[in-house]
A and B are shown apart, each in its own frame.
Chain A
Amino acid sequence: MLGFAARRLLVSIGLVWLVASLVFLVIHLIPGDPAELLLSQGGIAPDPAAVEELRERLGLNQPLWQQYATYLGGLLQGDFGYSLQDEHPIAEEIALRLPRTLELVGAAGLIAVLLGLPLGTVAALRAGGLLDRMLSAVAALALSVPVFVVGTLAVLVLAQQLKLVPAGGYVPLAQDPLRHLGLLLMPAGTIAVGLSAVVFRVTRSSVLEVLQREHVRAAQARGTPPAAIIRRHVVRNALTPVVTVIALHLGTLLGGTVLVEFVFNWPGLSGYLVRSVEARDYPEVLGIVVVISALFVLLNFVVDLLYAVIDPRVRHG
């Protein structure tokens, strides 16, 4: 098990390095000068002297390999450089905002699993029945409404019209835990709408598939009670694809909370990214993309470990 984890960890570290290098290369090799791009907002050609000054300041006049070495060296020390707009250290801003995004994604994932897993299992066990058809229709609907539409409509109805919840915002946990959780509920619930539908669908089809397997019939032939069969022989065996899909979607969400953070004024990492993109602040964009990609890789590593926990064949393979 330890050897397995170590192997996977090495692969993951290699992947992070690959992604970081790739993003760096893409930004530097694509035609167009970052300095010029930054200064040429509004379609007016920038002052060449100003561009030259900025190039010098950003180290863009150095040879590419030297820039790459500086960049990687910085990454290793957790240094992502400084914002072009306000000279603020990027690592500091990321450290401040990342936990908020992670909290949002985590809460959404938790709600989705708590809803999708049991409902998907029940729907599969009653496949073709009224309950199954109703749940499947709701899931199809939930999958079709874009997340920012869900959020916007939730604000419109729950906050504006019914005045049940605040329309958005953020209060640190340490300052007011109750208010913090209250504010977390709307954005997390919004993300969870689509995510639960995904979890529901995968669980349903996975459980249906496992139910047809021979070992379920063999367990019945031993006289095992239905509840134990579902718990031990069905749900557990159905988990692998469910875990895969949840991980995939949580990974997507790491960069995909943009819309929800925007709708609910949640000051997370994604909002920071949108601001950087709008300002074409490329060191900021680079830093955020690398951090999110690294988390994505880390998530896949955790999923690999989870597979090993679920399935002994993976552990020994």
Chain B
Amino acid sequence: MGHGGLRRLALPGGLLAGILLLALITPWLPLPDPVRQDIAGRLAAPAAAHWLGQDEYGRDVLSRILWGARVSLSVAFAASLLAAVAGTLLGILGGYFRGVVELLTVRVAEVVLCFPPLLLALLVVTLLGPGATTLILSLAILFAPGFARVAYAETLSARALDYVTAQQALGARSGRILIRTLLPNIAPPLIVQFSLTIAAALLLESGLSFLGLGVVPPSPSWGLMIRGARATMEQAPLLLLWPCLALSGVVLVLNLFCDRLRDVLDPRGRTQGRPGFLRRIAALPTPASPASAVPGLLAVEGLTVALPGPAGAPLVRDVGFTLAPGETLAIVGESGSGKTMTALAIMGLLPGELRVVSGRILLTDDDGRARDLLRLPEQALRRLRGNDLAMVFQDPSASLNPLLRVGVQVAESLHAHGATEDVQARVVALLREVGLPDPERAARAYPHELSGGQRQRVMIAAAVANQPRLLLADEPTTALDVTVQAQILALLAALKRAGGAMGMVFVTHNLAVVAEIADRLVVMYAGEVVEEGPVTEVFAAPRHPYTAALMASMPEGEAERLSAIPGAVPQPWAMPAGCRFAPRCDFAIEACRTAPPALVAPAPGRRTRCLRWKELA
């Protein structure tokens, strides 16, 4: 990212350097005196001696533009520098010492921000009279609080960093800590602030000069030139154009430079790629293969999800499993195993740039016909979402819109699928069904007025509103307290019993939960299915070392990273050549590292992706 950013900085940076250089060398250029008047050449058109013509006093316009750049830029630069030094100092002092010092520095500086900027500048001009010094001073007063704020905020966060605390504990003197450790940390945002301030100062300077309250004539300044040219607009419109172009051009270059500089120095602010949900979802081309008769409710076959591009690393590779009506299937794995991606692929809601590369996801509808979700147009898929297919997410406080009453959000499920009558009554009934006390009131509540467990109940109510035939639950209890977890699990189990044929895919990293809720189990590792089978059988006799290791770490099963297994899930672009678990596996032999093992069936209804499954038993 660094190289791309620097390259993007080259164009505005080069232009800016050119402008600064031109302003610097102006005195040595063979230009006419910018203040020498020539009444005979008043408003003369461009000529060999005067490339851009002469102004209302016969002065050379090109020369005045270049000298004006010197004046405008040096006023802007001086004011910004003064503001930066004073503001940064105030901010660091306030942020470092806090208390009374903070009140006297940062808070006082912030009072300045209570005034509209131009107004404050005018106030200073009233008190001190116009002129370049006044101008620099008033601009500095205007812009110092901005620096103080940035420096203050960054100092506060740098103060909390471990190594600063550590240095203080070691007895380093305050002053040394400030200079040695804080300054490098706060430099990037301050540099961005500095270039922004130069552009703003340039604008204000030219504005004040335009009003006749800034740079004093006959000194050339772009604002003054525009002011002068306005009077002769009818006879010589071009005179107006040159300083306007110069001023706007320089500000444009400065702004562009700031934008790019911010991208380089502070990549956090960069806008992300385009949002997932509006891209035209490229449904996979319809395959020639006839829809085979699929028993059960859901069949995922050969699902592969990858990052875009020809070399896009697959995050989910060749995943397949089936689900019967009324059955609960748990998908288990560490973070990075691809279990959530698999669930989102079924919903057709993969984030950002992720794409399904190949595979089929067959959902059987009421008439027993199987439809491939990956080949449905977005419109048709949308009609299934929240209706036949529903999903409950991990974090209920993030998945509810904080600005809408929860009843409205539950009602959305009903409205989206054509309900128009008794929606309010049905919402209340749903909220009662998921066990919310006082459902009438709960429907009118905002998410922040409910507890975490109640919010998840609301999410479940919205998901089951249309009696879905398939419910996907993505770690629905992970973000909740332990006692609440049990209640939510009990609720899901009760809903399933009541729902009859509703199938459920339960994504989790917690084997204890699996034992409680699931009939069958799919274990995923690094984007692949490594083991599958009925829960009781797998728990009694795991046929893959990874499953065994997961079970061994069950007492610590609350933690997302399973500490009992050394190492971490490999990154998608750095997959081992052979078995993906081999680097972390105690049972790995040479054959495991050379070729990826195939899924085999050690018993009816069971599968494992391990060469040595027989020896595990």
Contact = CB atoms under 8 A, between A and B. Distances in A.
Interface of A: 15, 18-19, 22-23, 26-27, 30, 32, 37, 124-129, 140-141, 143-149, 152-153, 155-156, 160-161, 205, 208, 211-226, 228-229, 232-233, 236-237, 251-256, 258-259, 262, 273-274, 276-278, 280, 282, 285, 289, 292-293, 296-297, 310-313, 316
Contacts of B282: none
A32 B395 CA distance: 64
Contacts of A18: 111
B393 A156 contact: no
A219 to B, nearest CB: 7
Contacts of A233: 401, 404
B373 to A, nearest CB: 13
Given A223-B384, A256-B117, A259-B118, 5 more contacts: A129-B274, A222-B465, A232-B404, A237-B403, A296-B114
Contacts of B318: none
B387 interface: yes
B275 A212 contact: yes
B332 to A, nearest CB: 22
B233 A27 contact: no
A152 B240 contact: yes
28 contacts: A23-B123, A32-B127, A125-B278, A127-B271, A127-B275, A146-B248, A149-B247, A149-B248, A160-B234, A205-B271, A211-B275, A216-B277, A218-B393, A219-B409, A221-B349, A221-B386, A221-B390, A222-B409, A223-B417, A258-B211, A262-B211, A274-B211, A277-B126, A280-B126, A289-B115, A296-B114, A296-B115, A312-B403
B122 A229 contact: no
Interface of B: 111, 114-120, 122-123, 125-127, 129, 203, 206-207, 210-213, 223, 226, 230, 233-234, 237, 240-241, 244, 247-248, 251-252, 254-256, 259, 271-278, 347, 349, 351, 382-387, 390-391, 393, 395, 398-404, 409, 412-413, 415-417, 446, 448-449, 459, 462-463, 465
Given A128-B274, A144-B255, A222-B386, A252 B116 contact: yes
A316 B449 contact: yes
Contact of B256 (A140, A147, A155): A140
Nearest to A207: B275
B412 A140 contact: no
Contacts of B213: 274, 277-278
Contacts of A152: 226, 230, 240, 244
A255 B463 CA distance: 53
Contacts, number: 229
A245 to B, nearest CB: 14
Given A217-B399, A237-B403, A277-B125, A222 B462 contact: yes
Q: What is the interface of chain A mostly: helix, strand, loop, or mixed?
A: helix
Given A30-B127, A222-B412, A258-B122, A236 B385 contact: no
* Residue with the greatest number of chain B CB neighbours at <10 A, chosen from A126, A160, A222, A285: A222
Nearest to B472: A221
A103 B247 CA distance: 29
A276 B277 CA distance: 56
A140 B462 CA distance: 43
A120 to B, nearest CB: 12
Q: In this complex, which of B116, B207, B252, B278 has the most chain A Cβ atoms within 10 angstroms of its Cβ?
A: B116
A212 B114 CA distance: 34
Contacts of B347: 221
Contacts of B403: 236-237, 310-312
Contact of A316 (B233, B387, B448, B459): B448
B452 to A, nearest CB: 14
B252 A141 contact: yes
Contact of A221 (B226, B256, B391): B391
Contacts of B398: 213-215
A221 B400 CA distance: 12
Nearest to A157: B237
Given A255-B115, A256-B116, A273 B459 contact: no
A251 B349 CA distance: 42
Contacts of A236: 403
Contacts of B448: 312-313, 316
A144 B416 contact: no
Contacts of B122: 255, 258, 273-274, 277, 285
A8 B149 CA distance: 23
B119 A289 contact: yes
A256 to B, nearest CB: 5
A89 to B, nearest CB: 20
Contacts of B446: 312-313, 316
Given A217-B399, A312-B403, A226 B278 contact: yes
Contacts of A228: 412, 416
B382 A146 contact: no
B116 A253 contact: yes
Nearest to B125: A277
B256 A153 contact: no
A199 B278 CA distance: 22
A238 to B, nearest CB: 10
B114 A125 contact: no
A218 B397 CA distance: 11
A212 to B, nearest CB: 6
A15 B385 contact: no
Contacts of A273: 119, 122
B496 to A, nearest CB: 19
A186 B273 CA distance: 38
Q: Which of A218, A258, A274 has the most CB of B within 10 A?
A: A218
A284 B416 CA distance: 61
Given A215-B398, A229-B277, A145 B126 contact: no
Contact of B274 (A127, A237, A278, A289): A127
A219 B412 contact: yes
A145 B400 contact: no
Contact of A156 (B207, B212, B237, B387): B237
A293 B401 contact: no
Q: Which of A19, A32, A127, A161 has most chain B Cβ within 10 Å?
A: A127
B272 A156 contact: no
- Which of B114, B385, B409, B413 is the most central at the interface, judged by chain A CB atoms within 10 Å of its CB? B114
B401 to A, nearest CB: 4
Give the 4 A-B residue pairs with the shortest CB-CB distance, closest first.
Answer: A255-B119, A255-B116, A223-B386, A144-B252
A198 B441 CA distance: 41
A174 to B, nearest CB: 29
Nearest to B413: A222
| Most chain A CB atoms below 10 A, which of B115, B351, B399 | B115
B399 A218 contact: yes
A15 B114 contact: yes
Contacts of A205: 271
B244 A153 contact: yes
Nearest to B212: A278
Given A217-B277, A218-B399, A258 B349 contact: no
Given A146-B247, A149-B248, A225-B416, A218 B400 contact: yes
A259 B207 contact: yes
A170 to B, nearest CB: 18
A317 to B, nearest CB: 9
The interface centre, meaning the residue of B244, B259, B273, B351 with most chain A CB atoms within 10 A of its CB, is B244
A148 B409 CA distance: 48
Given A144-B252, A146-B207, A253-B116, A219 B401 contact: yes
